[in-house]
Structure 1
Amino acid sequence: MLGEVTAEVLGAAENQHARNGLLGQNAMVIETTLPDWLPHLEGTIVDGELLRGWALSEVWRIRLNGATRKSVIAKRGVGELAGEARRYHELVVPLGIPAPRLLAEGGSGVIVLEDVGGEDLEARPTAEGYEEAVRVLARMRAESALRLASDPALAAGLRRSTADLVAVAARADAAMTALRPDLAGALDDPVRAMTGCLEQLSSEPETIVHGDFQAKNLLHTPGGGIVTIDWSDAYVHPHLGDLYLLLREGRKQGRIDGVRMEALPELFAHEAGTDPQAVTDQLVTGGLCWTMNALRWVVETGVHAVPVSREWIDELVTDLRELTSVINGRSRPQRGVPGRQQPRRRRSHRLGGVDERR
């Protein structure tokens, strides 16, 4: 995925192809190692820093001289992660969602974004940051719901129905059973529970679902703000899987004080102007949707792209069963977010819409 580009003299004839064909006619390289998929960039490339390098996703900070911006973020996604530009055009921009600006597009899955700088909430976890992330999510969902309701044609190709999400569950079940025959039938109850929950949720306003709303995709900004990045998994639906994932990931990593973490659903309810119990109920539905899609990705793609992901199947199935048991009244969720407290573990790869560093 990477190609070395070395240009010691900017005008050297032997490097003309590297400068014009590989990096664009307006960009020049000064002794660095860069990916071979960079699109045309303004100014002189000084160097590049690999920020993330996964099997299906690569992110670089490219520093420039003689350009309007001193640096930009270049990204390349493969497979399901190749659709971020579409999300910008059909969701992020039309819905007015605060996010780094899309500056350019290259080949399949390649985009260049504004570099907003700042540490992410994973690198610098703070209670204030998590609280602001919840406020950002509540505002984003409320404002998006209004715009989507006013224009039924907006993001029409990215609106998901109950049938669409149930189809995801069917794919997860089929691929998992083929891979793990011992788990045949394990998703029967979760699928039924999810289907019932989604039918009840169908009367709720459609809004934005980021799909990977967790600490690594939330950047601190000056003044205590939070901006959301990485929109490749986004779509439109009422479910609250984004809040479920933020709480799940934060609790498992033990990132902030437990009392403040458990207060986040109530904060969301306050910001959204809704009943806290309704938020708790919707967290179960959102949890089923997010976890089912995570499992679908693992059994369809992850086991091939990231072989270690095979080890995560049992945990995801257990999470689905526990969420289902909450719905069936056989157990009670811990206050604030359904599910169980897991031992802290870290994983070093990324799932399609899932971060494995859980």
Structure 2
Amino acid sequence: MLPAWLDVIAGPVLEATQAPAVGELKGEVLREWGSSEVWRLSYGLRCVIVKRGSDAQTSEGAAYRRFVVPLQLPAPRLIHSVETDDSVLLVLADVGRVNLEQEPSASGFLAAAELLAEVRSKPVDASSEFTSKQLAELVRRSPADPELAERLLTVGAAALDQLHEATDARVVHGDYVPKNLVSDGTRWTIVDWPLTYLAPHLSDLYTLVRDAVAIGHQAEPIVARYIDAAGADPSLVQRQLSIGGIAFILRALTWVVEEGVRTVPSSSEWINPLLAELDDVARGLG
């Protein structure tokens, strides 16, 4: 069984795999959510990844045009893309069969920290897309209680303004978690770019460390590896991590309440733990 929407991108898939016909392709479902469907299609030893994204996932084609291609970011090569009224269809190079979630080694997390430093090294001639105004909008849309909301709108906003004065906005992947870090056994590649935007914070490092700690790794070596690879100021990185944590959690909360409860019903169970985490990070700002 192959995806029903394959006909739209069949030509580029057949060219990339050199399959004589669609019926000769072998299909493997890698992900099937309400807003994201991902397949590996192969013919002999040749294979590609095909994706269909809807809702928040429709922006991946734009992310490739804005950031991935011009900045030569470590992402799968885009072979073809088609945008429809309600979705985006992508044909991508297959960059490996193992991700960091499947094999969560300490060396893998350190490699991911170095990869992030590479992404953050790319200067971008554009303004931040996570300012105090965006912070306030996310707080308004989130289920944060009045006390937490007030702390975010005062202490959090002030810290974010200071961060903009201290450093430039750079690319933020937006979902820098182990399942989106793929290896072919030689090199690591970042997949799934629809949530990409520009900001001075380090939410990507925050989520990487967050997941590493959850499975028993230590945070300090990962942060230290990023600092060393990026040649960054440790005190600035700590500020970027705090604001990055707030950005990640607020964006996750608004996604859950506005889309996730519909496309991934089980995500409603994430709300209370995310609110508790947000409160901890916000209190750490002072």
Fold equivalence (TM over 0.5): yes
Match of 2:66 in 1: 90
CA distance in 2, matches of 1:307, 1:222: 35
Match of 2:139 in 1: 169
Instruction: Tell me if structure 1 keeps the 8 A contact 2:156–2:285.
Output: no
Match of 1:61 in 2: 40
SS in 1 for 2:5: coil
**Which runs of structure 2 are paired with 1:230-269 in the superposition (5 Å)?**
230-254=192-216, 256=217, 258=218, 261-269=219-227
SS in 2 for 1:327: coil
CA distance in 1, matches of 2:189, 2:146: 41
CA distance in 2, matches of 1:213, 1:304: 23
Question: Which runs of 5 or more structure 2 residues have no equivalent in the other structure?
Answer: none
SS in 2 for 1:94: helix
Instruction: Tell me if structure 2 keeps the 8 A contact 1:265–1:280.
Output: no
Match of 2:185 in 1: 222
CA distance in 1, matches of 2:233, 2:146: 38
Superposition TM-score, scaled by structure 1 size: 0.71
Larger radius of gyration: 1
CA distance in 1, matches of 2:72, 2:129: 17
CA distance in 2, matches of 1:306, 1:191: 29
Match of 2:238 in 1: 280
SS in 2 for 1:287: helix
- Counting matched residue pairs gives 271
CA distance in 2, matches of 1:91, 1:165: 22
SS in 2 for 1:187: helix
CA distance in 2, matches of 1:325, 1:58: 38
CA distance in 2, matches of 1:162, 1:188: 13
Aligned partner letter, 1:170: R
Q: Identify the structure with bigger relative contact order (alpha carbons < 8 Å, sequence gap 6+).
A: 2
SS in 2 for 1:83: helix
Aligned partner letter, 2:4: D
Aligned partner letter, 1:194: G
Match of 1:117 in 2: 96
Match of 1:105 in 2: 81
1:312 is the counterpart of 2:270 = yes
1:128 is the counterpart of 2:96 = no
Deviation at 1:205, TM superposition (A): 1.0
SS in 2 for 1:242: helix
Instruction: Tell me if structure 2 keeps the 8 A contact 1:194–1:289.
Output: no
Give CA deviations for 1:247-276 in whole Å, capped at 9, x if unaligned: 11121133x4x3xx4211122111111222
Aligned partner letter, 1:36: A
Aligned partner letter, 2:193: W
Match of 2:171 in 1: 208
Higher helix share: 2
Instruction: Tell me if structure 1 keeps the 8 A contact 2:35–2:54.
Output: yes
Deviation at 1:160, TM superposition (A): 4.2
Match of 1:194 among 144, 156, 160: 156
Superposition TM-score, scaled by structure 2 size: 0.88
Runs of 4+ in 1 over 6 A off after TM superposition: none
Identity %: 35
